[in-house]
Structure 1
């Protein structure tokens, strides 16, 4: 929980949040006892994704590169968290 919360806080500082689209309506079997709101929401997520809207006017401009680099740097806490979890699932 501490690593998840640190990641979520870092995303929030960067103006991002985990996308909650396509979540389960209730906790999966085995996670019914998770009652803390942020963790309960997390276990219902099917995906851990952040989104960033791109201004259509910038698609063909050099500004798009800067925009995408900025987004990637702000999303890095999620990428780092995911990489840290690799190989730890039971």
Structure 2
């Protein structure tokens, strides 16, 4: 058993596809999508998803979302309950 398998075993074991039961529990109901935000279509899809969301966490260079018309102030006009967090560095 390697180190990673030992850690996963300690957190509930592995499933038949070598993912931990802990990961399945924590990641339940999460979805992933890849968008090209340099395109109008990609930005529109992102904005549509954000406006349906409760929380937005982003790590772009400061001012990038504003340049795309998706800054927190812009988004909160259409989704007043949106919680935003910015992580840069």
| TM-score between both structures, scaled by the size of structure 2 | 0.25
Task: Using CA pairs under 8 Å that are at least 6 residues apart, name the structure with larger relative contact order, 1 or 2.
Answer: 1
Greater Cα radius of gyration, structure 1 or 2? 2
More helix per residue: 1
More strand per residue: 2
